[in-house]
Structure 1
Amino acid sequence: MIKYLAKVYRHYEDYHAYGPNRLKVMGILGALGYSAFHFFRYTRPHDTLLVEDVPFRLFGVALFLLMGLRDFWPERLKPYYIRFSYLVLLYCLPFFNVLIGLQRGGGIASISNTFICLCFLVLLTDWRNTVLMVLVGTALASGVYVLTTTNPHIPRDLVAQLPAFAMVVIGGNMFKSSTDRIDAERKLRATQALAGSIAHEMRHPLAQLKHSLEGMQEVLPAPGASRQTARLDPQEVQQLYRHLARGEQAVQRGLQVISMTLDEVSARPLDATTFRYLSAAEVVQQAVEEYSYDSDEARDKVSVSVAEDFTFKGDETAYLFVLFNLIKNALYYLTPYPQTQVSITVADQQVKVRDNGPGIAPDVLKGLFEPFRSIGKSGGTGLGLAYCKRVMRAFGGDIECRSVPGQYTEFMMRFPAIGEKEREEHRLAAVAQARTLLAGKRILIVEDDPVQRMATRQKLGPLALTADLDEAEDGQVALDMLGRRTYHIVLMDLNMPGLDGYTVADKVRNEAGPNQDVRIIAYTSEPSHLARAKALKGGMDGFISKPCAQLPLLAALQQVVQQPRGAARTEPGRLAGRRILLADDSAFNRKAVAAYLRNAAADVIEVEHGQAVLDQLQANDGFDAVVVDLHMPGMDGLEAAHAIRHSGEPWAAVPVVALTAHSDEEAVAAARAAGMDAFLVKPVDSALLYETLVRLVAGTGKALPPPEPPAVAARPVVPEIPEEGLLNVQRLESYRRLGMLEELLTDYLPEMSRLVGALQDAAASQDRQRSLDALHSLLGMSGEAGAQALYQLVRRLYVPLLERDEWPDAPAWLEHLQAVAVRTDAALKAYCATETRSDGA
């Protein structure tokens, strides 16, 4: 019998294991109702029971209050809350109401109270416990009534209502069971759709990762090769780095898909405190380059037109997700509609994504942005567009869709305008902050292009570092200067004749000298997804892509100055002498994280669960940090962290870092409440792990955000460039403020013309290296000069030739590039002339 009752009780525990805490609400409602109903129901002067039932009623009110104030319970008592609530419901609902009904001899009030009691009981318990509570409560109430009454009798009106009472219990549970089945079916379908969507989205990154691994396998020598034959030539090393970059990008893309989906499912709000000022054109171009296309054909279908760039305030990663969603939707029907073209336009505080695919029916448009509304796409959840709407509204803007079936679909994203005054105030504040942080820092600019050196010097001009700002025109000169004088930062171009940036960085790091630990920032026009990994592996601390506006450049300088030396590098010694306690029930995850830590020279102790963490801390004092998985069998990470903080031992203040695959707001809040100092999401990024631990053991306790995701290059296409899309007016305005328009005319324009001519000669002879050199220089030059159409076109030509040895396949590509260069030259001269006259006036 006891086993049966325990089994029934477990159904009650399961019933209240998930969802909102209805018991707390019932506690508050019951305490108020019991107090009010006492006076509302019985107010006749001769009603002596008005006073006689007060002890029972006050006891019930007290029980209800305790149940409603669960949040104020001591932590050690909260595990007993469900058991306590069971007794409260048993006493306050069937027992109390039946007892009072019997004592009063029935009546309308007693009958109505019993009906109310049964309704609440049906809502708060499963059918088994409803029946059990009714039977037990009625039996106990009848026993108390018989023992405390001299002439007990059963009220006939209560007996007459027994069929109605039974109907409430049976019917209520039947309806509730039906509703539960409907909810369960709805949740099952949503879960299946969600799982299908994630699986569908993850196929592409995993396929790309598989392709990268296969590429690495082809390049690597056979396992049995001798040491001589196993050597890799420089070209094979570059191929390995390319495959590595693509594999890393595939992993990043997969993590983005999961993060976006989970954020939308949990309706996780965007943190407006992290918003920053962004260029719409730059973010759009980044999205088009980073998107994981199914094929080269799909990549060729997407074009960008910047009629007028603008600035908006938001979160870059979130907006990239929005653009990824819209690009994915536009390309979804590419197979049945091979003529589909996707154009992205930036102008008038709007970004428009338009495709000429099948279109959307008017009745579907109405609920397009509602969650779990999919437009007939297999494996879709409809969460993507709901996420887009939420992000745009968080930015203060909105998104809407227009479509004509059989003709086009266009998504329009509107952004709130940011006035010139606000932009200028932001720029001045950022410059002032950089001037304060970089005061007294000596900076060396290593760049073989004199025009680029001049532009960089002008951008750093507001820092007032004239005496501490040096230039080197090539790698050898840079090494000589680094051997004579101590510098704080080196801004290093990677692609230079003679000694390139990688070679210079390697010599600086591995040869004893005054600048062995200088912060080195890679500053290059090379595609970031190819060059970033090589730069960091080569001992550099940061990476900036050219062209780079003034504020991002200043931000990069500040970041490397603030971070510990070598924070972006993974060489041994980062955590030398530090003892780290690592807990994870997964042997694979534990092995991977331990390898990262040991690579940084840390002494790592591995355990499998939370109790082992406490045992190790108790037995071996002196750990510098604890890295613990949140979800482990037995004592999990949260319980272990709570036990550490409340242990009263000397190690109670040891830094604790959480590892988890779940980054939702509740998980972060729970980790923070348990006393954890930092929160890392699996799979763990090694650089972020190092940065977090270095900061924690140094006492700052602040973790840095993860690095920017790498970019993906686009195939060469030759879009038509409208006149209004030739120039990046915002960049030119910044040059005007810096007084660089004259240099733009005298230095940039002739050099761009020369580079176009050099490219023509190299392409005519199919000289790949000379063509790459010309394209590389032209890429950096056009970007810096604000020639955005020329920059985009050159990038589409340069990346495939660099990555895959693919010459442009578009007809008359060189003639088109020359035409765009001529139009750009005229547009720049016209702009400079206009601005010079206005400044003179």
Structure 2
Amino acid sequence: MLNALRRVFKHYEDYHAYGPPRLKAMGYLGAFTYVVFYFLRFTRPNPNLFDDLPARALAVLLFLLMGMREFWPDRLKPYYIRYSYFVLLYCLPCFTVLVALQRGGGVAAISNAFIILCFLVLLTDWRNTLVMLVAGTAMAALIYVATTANPKVPMDLIAQLPAFALIVIGGNLFKADTERIDAERKLRATQALAGSIAHEMRHPLSQLKHSLEGMQDLLPAPGGPQAALEPGQLQALYRHLGHGEQAVKRGLQVISMTLDEVSARPIDTSAFRYLSAAEVVQQAVEEYGYESEEARDKVLVKIEKDFTFRGDETAYLFVLFNLIKNALYYLKPFPDTRVTIIVGDHQVRVRDNGPGIAPEVLRGLFEPFRSVGKSGGTGLGLAYCQRVMRAFGGEIECDSAPGEFTEFSMRFPAISDEEREQHRLAAVADARTMLAGKRVLIVEDDPIQRMATRQKLGPLALTTELEEAADGQVALGMLARRAYDVVLLDLHMPGLDGYAVAEKLRRDPGPNQDVRIVAYTSEPAHLARAKALKCGMDGFVSKPCAQLPLLAALQQAVQNQHGKGSTARLAGRRILVADDSAFNRKAVAAYLRNTAAIVIEVEHGQAVLEQLHAQDGISAVIVDLHMPGMDGLETTRAIRASLEAWSTIPVIALTARSDEPAVAAATAAGMNAFIVKPVDAQVLYDTLARLVAPGAAQTPVTEAALPPEPPPQEGLLNLQRLESYRRLGMLEELIADYVPEMARLVDKLQGAVAGADVQGSIDALHSLLGMSGEAGAQALYQQVRRLYVPLLEEGEWPAGSAWLPELQALARRTEEALRAYCDTASRSAA
């Protein structure tokens, strides 16, 4: 019997599994109506009417407590559902039947019975509706018989039993049908969501598979002679590793974006920072996972006028990835498709000459689960794009003509010159404060780029010691003689490159074995980052880099150095990790042991409680939400409900999902924080440090806004960068040094191509890439990058013979434009 009642109550718990809004609303509504109905009787006084004030007052109190759940102590909240069951049982069937019996029936009693039955059907499943009706009626009858001298059965109530039964049966049938329709809708939405994720994940998984196959081809056969990899093979192995990591990152981003959109999770505006539209667009085009080199060549970036906007870089990259993906979707049936991304006038436009979109479809294009002629798509991506742009304070629109073009326009709110300048000054001041008294070593073989880097770090000159090294060997000599705080290290240098310098520093004991190393290179980030981290580097900043982002990169490096804060505060702490997956436990435990924390591993919730009882001094519990037996939520409730000293211990959820229902459930259970799988080590450290030692979490560093720029000049130049050079007094020096050097590198490239020297071409393009970017030659920079990345990855020149003359012609036009800009600036200054 007891087990049967438990099973029935479990249905009630499941019925209210997604939070207490209905019960909370009923609590306030019940309290209000019970008070109002009591005073309504005084409009028609009846001295013979039974006064139910004591029983009604109890019902009002119970209802109010049910409505005020958020004010309950945390240790009592786990018992809320059980309490609500008792409240509904007493306040609905028991109270109503008792009052009806005591009043001898009547119209009012019959009306109240109908109302109560309707509420009971709405608030419970059919099993508990019947149980509550039977139990409540029986309780009321027993109380009536025990408290009344001459109990009578009101026949008018008995006469209404068929109507009462009709309400219960019909209401539950109607509700069951509604629930079936809702379940079918949810099933279809789930199927659409699963299909969307599968569709979106197909490409990154294919890319990952390709990378793994490439790595497998390079590895020697097991059991055979263990031959060393040749340099070219080693580079290819790292290239495949970089592509694989990029594919995994893109896949996780797809999942995050989809879940955020489905749950309508708000975008965190506190993490917004000032971003260059041109830089983010260029980053998106470079990092997007293309299916082929042909697809990569179809995307062109045109910078008419860069601008600054305030937003989240990752969210906006998602937007651009989605729009690029949509534009390239029809590449196979429409091989002449071209995608142009245009930056200018506070907007970014993504235009393609694909099949277009019919006018009747445009109106609902940004609605969730709306897809246009795409197998497996749901339109969640475009809905997410709209949410992101609205969070940025902007808007996104689509214009299209079937058979001609499709253009998505993203308009951003203007950032005033005053706001930009205030942010720039604040960022420089922060960097100057953080880097005060520090020694920074700039390692760069190119004297012009060395000079440009030193100029960008000029605001630090009064408080920070800046030194230079012309190559890796000189740098090692300087690093052997004195200690530095940060090394800004170029990766691509003749002789001893940046990778070798970093590896030797980390391997050999010395004053700089733990120095912070920031890689500074024009190599593609997804290819260089894996090698840089493997060699022990701590940060990565791409060339060309504006002044303020470079300062921010150094600032971030020094912050991490100071505080090894998050990790230092974890040393010696006892951390309890609960996860039924041994692999997940070992991964988290390995991260924590790296900070000298003491890790206790268990595989279910009951073991967590046992360890807390058995051991003193546990600082925090990391618990997986989904475990067999006692899951993470139940474990946390049990911890909070205990009367032990550890009932307030920090509890962190380890979960693969962070949607609103999951967050709400974890918060209600008493959890303190979320860590989303796969676990990021730094997020793990920062979260734990914040909870075990309040105030230890690091403040994220934001990139600074770029200064305002003058009107564009035919798209050849990055006038924003040139204007910053002019303010620094470097413009004439730029023309005198950079322009001849770019011409020399173009000639060097021509000679390498004529001699079929692939490595020489890579070296020339690498130097020209960094030089053109620093000089503000944006069109030349973009063209060089389109040539450099495929050549570096595949070791082959572009198809055809026109690419070199086109590059030479572009270099000549760039030189003319640079000289003309310099002449104009000189005349303006005079």
> Does the pair score TM above 0.5?
yes
Match of 1:712 in 2: none
CA distance in 2 between counterparts of 1:604 and 1:829 reads 64
Q: Are the equivalent residues in 2 in contact too, given 1:678–1:701 (CA < 8 A)?
A: no
SS state of the match for residue 275, structure 2? strand
CA distance in 2 between counterparts of 1:632 and 1:759 reads 60
Question: Which of 769, 780, 795 is the equivalent residue of 2:770?
Answer: 780
| 1:306 pairs with 2:303 | yes
CA distance in 1 between counterparts of 2:640 and 2:141 reads 51
| 1:230 pairs with 2:227 | yes
Question: Which of 356, 381, 386 is the equivalent residue of 1:389?
Answer: 386
Cα deviations by residue, 1:244-284 (Å, 9 ceiling, x for unpaired)? 11111111111101111111112111121111110111111
Q: What displacement does 1:604 show?
A: 4.6
Distance verdict in 2 for CA 1:602–1:361, change over 3 Å: same
Match of 2:757 in 1: 767
Match of 1:28 in 2: 28
**Mind listing any 5+ residue stretches in structure 1 that lack a counterpart?**
709-721
| 1:422 pairs with 2:419 | yes
| 1:272 pairs with 2:257 | no
Alignment of 1:115-264 (within 5 A): 115-142=114-141, 144-145=143-144, 148-149=147-148, 153-155=152-154, 157-226=156-225, 229-264=226-261
CA distance in 2 between counterparts of 1:524 and 1:691 reads 28
Match of 1:48 in 2: 48
| 1:464 pairs with 2:461 | yes
| 1:629 pairs with 2:628 | no
Alignment of 1:368-517 (within 5 A): 368-465=365-462, 468-517=465-514
Question: Which of 653, 678, 682 is the equivalent residue of 1:683?
Answer: 678
Distance verdict in 2 for CA 1:677–1:176, change over 3 Å: closer
SS state of the match for residue 49, structure 1? coil
Q: Which has the higher contact order (CA 8 A, sep 6+)?
A: 2
Distance verdict in 2 for CA 1:486–1:758, change over 3 Å: same
Distance verdict in 2 for CA 1:820–1:139, change over 3 Å: same
Q: Are the equivalent residues in 1 in contact too, given 2:307–2:346 (CA < 8 A)?
A: yes
Alignment of 1:660-699 (within 5 A): 660-664=655-659, 679-686=674-681, 689=684
Q: What displacement does 1:6 show?
A: 4.4
CA distance in 1 between counterparts of 2:65 and 2:648 reads 34
Distance verdict in 2 for CA 1:503–1:656, change over 3 Å: farther
Q: What displacement does 1:56 show?
A: 2.2
| 1:804 pairs with 2:794 | yes
Q: Are the equivalent residues in 2 in contact too, given 1:446–1:492 (CA < 8 A)?
A: yes
Match of 2:709 in 1: none
Q: Are the equivalent residues in 1 in contact too, given 2:428–2:548 (CA < 8 A)?
A: yes
Q: Are the equivalent residues in 1 in contact too, given 2:75–2:641 (CA < 8 A)?
A: no
SS state of the match for residue 348, structure 2? strand
Distance verdict in 2 for CA 1:599–1:402, change over 3 Å: same
SS state of the match for residue 582, structure 1? strand
Q: What displacement does 1:76 show?
A: 4.2
CA distance in 2 between counterparts of 1:318 and 1:686 reads 21
Q: Are the equivalent residues in 2 in contact too, given 1:435–1:462 (CA < 8 A)?
A: yes
Match of 1:562 in 2: 559
Q: What displacement does 1:723 show?
A: 5.9
CA distance in 1 between counterparts of 2:371 and 2:341 reads 23
CA distance in 1 between counterparts of 2:94 and 2:7 reads 22
Q: What displacement does 1:196 show?
A: 1.2
- TM-score when scaled to structure 2? 0.91
Match of 1:71 in 2: 70
CA distance in 2 between counterparts of 1:155 and 1:641 reads 50
Match of 1:716 in 2: none
Matched residue pairs, number? Answer: 822
SS state of the match for residue 198, structure 2? helix
CA distance in 1 between counterparts of 2:702 and 2:663 reads 20
CA distance in 1 between counterparts of 2:666 and 2:699 reads 17
Match of 2:359 in 1: 362
Q: Are the equivalent residues in 2 in contact too, given 1:519–1:566 (CA < 8 A)?
A: no
CA distance in 1 between counterparts of 2:167 and 2:609 reads 52
Match of 2:81 in 1: 82
Distance verdict in 2 for CA 1:188–1:467, change over 3 Å: closer
Bigger CA drift: 307-316 or 501-510? 501-510
CA distance in 2 between counterparts of 1:58 and 1:698 reads 47
Bigger CA drift: 456-465 or 595-604? 595-604
Q: What displacement does 1:97 show?
A: 2.4
Bigger CA drift: 820-829 or 631-640? 631-640
CA distance in 2 between counterparts of 1:479 and 1:492 reads 11
Q: What displacement does 1:597 show?
A: 5.1
Q: What displacement does 1:437 show?
A: 1.0
Question: Which of 806, 810, 829 is the equivalent residue of 1:816?
Answer: 806
Q: Are the equivalent residues in 2 in contact too, given 1:749–1:825 (CA < 8 A)?
A: yes
Distance verdict in 2 for CA 1:697–1:561, change over 3 Å: farther
**Mind listing any 5+ residue stretches in structure 2 that lack a counterpart?**
704-711
Aligned amino acid, residue 542 of structure 1: G
| 1:833 pairs with 2:823 | yes
CA distance in 2 between counterparts of 1:648 and 1:47 reads 52
CA distance in 2 between counterparts of 1:605 and 1:386 reads 43
Q: What displacement does 1:529 show?
A: 1.0
CA distance in 1 between counterparts of 2:713 and 2:57 reads 82
CA distance in 1 between counterparts of 2:167 and 2:445 reads 86
Distance verdict in 2 for CA 1:446–1:74, change over 3 Å: closer
| 1:541 pairs with 2:531 | no
SS state of the match for residue 11, structure 2? helix
CA distance in 2 between counterparts of 1:383 and 1:420 reads 36
Match of 1:14 in 2: 14
CA distance in 2 between counterparts of 1:725 and 1:321 reads 26
CA distance in 2 between counterparts of 1:395 and 1:459 reads 29
Cα deviations by residue, 1:601-634 (Å, 9 ceiling, x for unpaired)? 7665432134434544555556676554343334
Aligned amino acid, residue 561 of structure 2: P
Aligned amino acid, residue 585 of structure 1: D
CA distance in 2 between counterparts of 1:373 and 1:505 reads 50
Aligned amino acid, residue 679 of structure 2: V
Distance verdict in 2 for CA 1:574–1:448, change over 3 Å: farther
Q: Are the equivalent residues in 1 in contact too, given 2:637–2:670 (CA < 8 A)?
A: yes
SS state of the match for residue 365, structure 2? coil
